[in-house]
Amino acid sequence: MATWFELIGGLALLFGLGTRFFAFSLLVLTIVATSAVHWPMDWQTLKDLAMGYAISNEGFGNFKLPFLFAAMLLPLIFHGAGKFSLDALIADFIMNGDHENILDLRAWSLGLLVIAAPMSILFPVIGLSVSALALVIGAISFFIRR
């Protein structure tokens, strides 16, 4: 199922269709794959977890490539596909070109939630604060007049 979602999501990103949804979903898939496959089986500190950032054969997985995938997906979550995408054509048709501010606020809200999810496990107060900020920004985006 993950393979099919990666293939379909990659094609959707290529054409710019549902960009923010697929970028966010692929980021979640990348985080799950990193934690399930690439992290060490037993880690007690962040130093133990950071050992997976180097290419080695000492029992630690390499999560440099998934980290790069996550870094490439974040701009798509925050800014969307751009002007030459199917998303932009659909939004221009539906909203008559006045959609940038609303979609940007929603993208920032979604991006902050992505950042806050793992942060709330490691640093609960900061993670929950960022989550609250993301929810406020998301709520504001629904009250802005088009």
Would you give the DSSP letter of residue 52?
A: G
pLDDT band at 55 (very low <50, low <70, confident <90, very high): low
Determine what percent of the chain is predicted with pLDDT higher than 70. Answer: 75
Please tell me the predicted confidence (pLDDT) of residue 59.
52
User: Whole-angstrom Cα distance, residue 29 to residue 52?
Assistant: 18
User: Whole-angstrom Cα distance, residue 65 to residue 68?
Assistant: 5
Please tell me the predicted confidence (pLDDT) of residue 109.
83
pLDDT band at 115 (very low <50, low <70, confident <90, very high): confident
Token match 């990193």: residue? 34
Q: What does the pLDDT look like over 11-22, one tens digit per residue?
A: 989 988 888 889
